[in-house]
Amino acid sequence: MATWRIAVLPGDGIGQEVTPQAVRVLDVVGKATGVGFEFEQALVGGAAIDAHGVPLPEATLTLCRQSQAILFGAVGGPQWDSVGQEVRPERGLLAIRKELDLFANLRPAKCFPMLVDASPLKAAVVGGTDIMVIRELTGGLYYGEPRGVERFADGSARAVNTMVYTTREIERVARVGFEVARKRRKRLASVDKSNVLIVSQVWRDVVTALAKEYPDVALEHVLVDNCAMALVQRPTQFDTIVTENTFGDILSDEAAILAGSMGMLPSASLGGSVGLYEPVHGTAPDIAGQGVANPIAAILSAGMLLRYSLNLVQDADRVDAAVMRVLESGLRTRDIAGGGRAAGTREMGDAIVKALEARY
Ligand code: NAD
Ligand code: IPM
Ligand code: MN
């Protein structure tokens, strides 16, 4: 049986609380199937700044490169808000994405039937929502040059970030969009701002040209402001969405509310030889340290790791099913409890581990 090395990077805040629950889930899969997991933990983000002065120590990046997959928590927090922009905790994550060429970020936003009332939106609106947001992850405003700030003697400043995309960068992520849509309901919405941005005009041209290779996928172009509205007005009209880095960041947080909570949204970052799996949410400083964070986004991310990096599709299905089972039983963390009795992070993890063990 194979042995896989998994880099475990919990990071900061609730990243340190939810990631261990995802590891427990992989452990169950390993014990039940005989697949060996070697979990190697490393520092990233604020935790790495505190220990080594940098958000991504060389040893952490090396471990990531030498692993089959990366299980990531979250990075950042108010403690590090005053450090320079280039050494913030978030830089650690951005550097891993870039170094490993993880250009395609899959963020599934699904409204599970038993959670229709967990969303602040009406059940009639969110019911049946099943969207795959594909966010370009290594280009655009996040990485474009020139970037920087000029400071003047009078105290004023001029700051620059650059949104830049090449044809190649657009085409490769759009291709992922078409391929994913093809395996789903064969509808792809490409989201841009081509009525204003030159970058978006090129984006739209490249996607349109590529569509000729995918005649079975219905492509529509949607302007990002309209998409933000349509996501909460009629989310069921969307199947697969592909968009650039910044738009995808913003729209996927919005989409999390269709699923009930930020604590429900997993993600997979693909493209290079090592995949990275992380919840879409951050370190949640408002609830960190209390043991109340929802571990489901992290656990579903572990499921995506099984599916996309290890091709253990049946085991991934079992993880998803175990989460569904536990939610059907009525157990809820605070973010999805609607004021009712709430389980803590550990209790939710225990229940999912038990439900998963029962599926083998
Ligand atoms: P956040 O996602 O951390 O929190 C937003 C809201 O959602 C908060 O009210 C929080 O309590 C809630 N929430 C998030 N995850 C939850 C969970 N699992 N269970 C229950 N409730 C949950 O966003 P923020 O507050 O804007 O950011 C906080 C810090 O996290 C910042 O430093 C930011 O840069 C960082 N961040 C990191 C990542 C990442 O590492 N991938 C992602 C987003 C934000
Ligand atoms: C996310 C986060 C990150 C991003 C931050 C922490 C760098 O918000 O993964 O959505 O903006 O990509
Ligand atoms: Mn984000």
The amino acid sitting at 303 is G
Residue nearest to atom 8 of ligand 2 (CA): 249
- Ligand 2 atom nearest 76 alpha carbon: 6
Q: Positive or negative CA dihedral for 287, 291, 292, 296?
A: positive
pLDDT of 329 = 97
How close is the Cα of 359 to the center of ligand 1, in Å? 31
Distances (CA, A) of 289 to 63, 100, 286: 27, 31, 9
Q: Are 310 and 69 in contact (CB under 8 A)?
A: yes
Q: 12 CB less than 6 Å from ligand 1? A: no
Phi, psi (deg, nearest 5) at residue 21: -70, -35
Q: 294 CB less than 6 Å from ligand 1? A: yes
Q: Into which CATH architecture does domain 120-259 fall?
A: 3-Layer(aba) Sandwich (3.40)
Q: Are 185 and 166 in contact (CB under 8 A)?
A: no
Task: Check: pTM over 0.85? Answer yes or no.
Answer: yes
Residue with tokens 């990233």: 44
Q: Are 193 and 223 in contact (CB under 8 A)?
A: yes
How close is the Cα of 278 to the center of ligand 1, in Å? 12
pLDDT of 273 = 95
pLDDT of 1 = 67
Q: Are 203 and 212 in contact (CB under 8 A)?
A: no
Phi, psi (deg, nearest 5) at residue 172: -70, -35
The amino acid sitting at 269 is S
Q: Name the residue of 90, 136, 246, 269 to mutate for ligand 2: max ligand atoms within 8 A of Cβ.
A: 90
Residue nearest to atom 11 of ligand 1 (CA): 284
pLDDT of 305 = 98
Q: 249 CB less than 6 Å from ligand 2? A: yes
Q: Are 14 and 284 in contact (CB under 8 A)?
A: yes
Q: 239 CB less than 6 Å from ligand 2? A: no
**Euclidean distance between CA atoms 204 and 261, whole angstroms:** 31
Equal fold, 1-103+262-360 vs 120-259 = yes
SS3 292: coil
Domain boundaries, the chain: 1-103+262-360, 120-259
Q: 244 CB less than 6 Å from ligand 2? A: no
How close is the Cα of 13 to the center of ligand 1, in Å? 9
Residues 6 or more apart whose Cβ sits within 8 Å of residue 163: 140, 141, 144, 197, 199, 244, 246
Q: 14 CB less than 6 Å from ligand 1? A: yes
Q: Locate 112 and state its tokens.
A: 């599970």
- Ligand 1 atom nearest 286 alpha carbon: 11
Q: Tell which CATH classification among 3.30.1330.10, 3.40.718.10, 3.20.190.10, 3.40.50.1170 matches the domain 1-103+262-360.
A: 3.40.718.10
Q: Locate 157 and state its tokens.
A: 């400043």
pLDDT of 166 = 98
Q: Is 260 left (phi over 0), alpha (psi -120 to 50) or beta?
A: left
**Euclidean distance between CA atoms 280 and 300, whole angstroms:** 11
CA angle 21–264–131, rounded 5-degree value: 135
Q: 55 CB less than 6 Å from ligand 2? A: no
Residue nearest to atom 11 of ligand 2 (CA): 249
How close is the Cα of 275 to the center of ligand 2, in Å? 16
How close is the Cα of 263 to the center of ligand 3, in Å? 13
pLDDT of 2 = 79
**Euclidean distance between CA atoms 268 and 216, whole angstroms:** 25
Report, as residue numbers or ranges, the catalytic residues.
Answer: 142, 193, 225, 249, 253
Beta strand extents in the chain (DSSP E only): 3-11, 36-41, 69-74, 104-110, 130-136, 148-151, 157-160, 187-192, 218-223, 240-243, 268-270, 275-277
Q: Are 118 and 260 in contact (CB under 8 A)?
A: yes
pLDDT of 87 = 87
pLDDT of 14 = 98
Q: Locate 62 and state its tokens.
A: 């090396």
pLDDT string in tens for the chain (360-residue length) = 679 999 999 999 999 999 999 999 999 999 999 999 999 999 999 999 999 999 999 999 999 999 999 999 999 999 999 888 778 999 999 999 999 999 999 999 999 999 999 999 999 999 999 999 999 999 999 999 999 999 999 999 999 999 999 999 999 999 999 999 999 999 999 999 999 999 999 999 999 999 999 999 999 999 999 999 999 999 999 999 999 999 999 999 999 999 999 999 999 999 999 999 999 999 999 999 999 999 999 999 999 999 999 999 999 999 999 999 999 999 999 999 999 999 999 999 999 999 999 999
Q: Which of 269, 257, 287 is nearest to 15 (CA)?
A: 287
SS3 143: coil
